[in-house]
Amino acid sequence: MLANDFHLDGLMGFDLYGKTIGIIGAGRIGAVFAGIMRGFGCSIIAYDAYPDPEFERAGARFVSLAELAAQSDAISLHCPLTTGTKHLLGADFFAACKPGVLLVNTSRGQVLDTAAALAALRSGHLGGLAMDVYEFEAGLFFEDHSQSELADPLLAELQQLPNVLITGHQGFFTREAFSTICQTTIDSFTAYEKGAPLVNRIPD
């Protein structure tokens, strides 16, 4: 739009109704997202290293990561960054995906191998990428770089693609979320001090 180009070339989307949505990371956030997608008439499949039966009872189905890649029309990431999830989505994963799959990452940047995602975008195999987090975001996000040239060629190329949406790690940026973050932090410190179970602990 900034270039006054209102062509629709390359902007054809798809309805969510009847599509298969793959969720990687079936925790509380993943479960809420699954409920939203079911409201659009989607089938839900999920992958998680620690499958929760409650998630499956809510209408989702757990599958392997390879099955999720092969069956999903759109994939959303909701898993933490651990030694086991770094570059969980790389070249092999994208090769196994349906052509034209849409990927959304609101979890952690390093879960996604950005160079592999860019290669899949270039080839057209990855149909679109929306990312609120970026593998190399340190020193970039939360800062104003409008008066300087972007020193990251990978991010610069991603920004030029019409099927890529990048937000600067701001999906959490609401008053309510900040209040919840503060309360959760206080509750975690209190539980640790008392020797109580750490319900928000992320497994290694």
> What amino acid positions are annotated as catalytic residues?
108, 137
Q: How far apart are CA 126 and CA 47, in angstroms?
A: 19
Give every CB contact of residue 60 below 8 A, 6+ residues apart in sequence: 23, 26, 34, 44, 45, 46
Q: Are 104 and 126 in contact (CB under 8 A)?
A: no
| Residue 89: Cβ within 10 Å count | 23
Dihedral sign for Cα 93, 96, 99, 104, please: negative
For residue 138, what are its two tokens? 């340190």
